[in-house]
């Protein structure tokens, strides 16, 4: 099991030392679900990108702004569902967040609860 407090501390230190101000690690892979820890130095942005089928962002340290079709600020201790549209993430202060994504979704005909 991952210790999120230790990972946040380690990756925040790495982001502060990194020339691009970021550090990330995939910490869990379970079928289509992925969880990554991402640390960004204040002012660093993850450029606009496409959203996976489903995603959430839980801020562990700091505060980030998610921009795109909607704009939201997410502070430490908060969990936010990410938009299904292109978006970017900007660190408003040194920040670490847990990103949970689902990379594919089975259609209902493929799932165990198939309609008859």
58: CB partners within 8 A, 6+ apart: 78, 79, 80, 97, 98, 100
CA distances from 47 to 41, 103, 116 (A): 14, 19, 44
- Condensed to tens digits (0 to 9), the pLDDT of residues 84-115 reads 788 899 999 999 999 999 987 664 444 433 33
Q: Could you tell me if 92 and 62 are in contact, meaning their C-beta atoms sit under 8 angstroms apart? A: yes
pTM of the model: 0.84
pLDDT < 50: residue spans in the chain: 107-116
Which residues are registered as beta bridge partners of 75? Answer: 63
Cα separation, 59 vs 73, in Å, equals 10
Show the domains of the chain with their CATH numbers: 4-102 (2.60.120.10)
């Amino acid at each position: 099991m991952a210790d999120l407090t230790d990972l946040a501390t380690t990756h925040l230190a790495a982001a502060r030392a990194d020339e691009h101000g970021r550090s990330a690690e995939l910490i869990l892979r379970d079928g289509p679900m992925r969880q990554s820890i991402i640390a960004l130095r204040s002012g660093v942005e993850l450029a606009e990108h496409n959203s996976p089928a489903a995603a959430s962002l839980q801020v562990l340290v700091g505060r980030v702004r998610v921009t795109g079709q909607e704009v939201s600020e997410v502070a430490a201790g908060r969990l936010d569902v990410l938009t299904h549209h292109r978006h970017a993430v900007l660190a408003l202060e040194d920040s670490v967040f847990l990103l949970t994504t689902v990379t594919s979704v089975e259609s209902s005909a493929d799932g165990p609860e198939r309609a008859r």
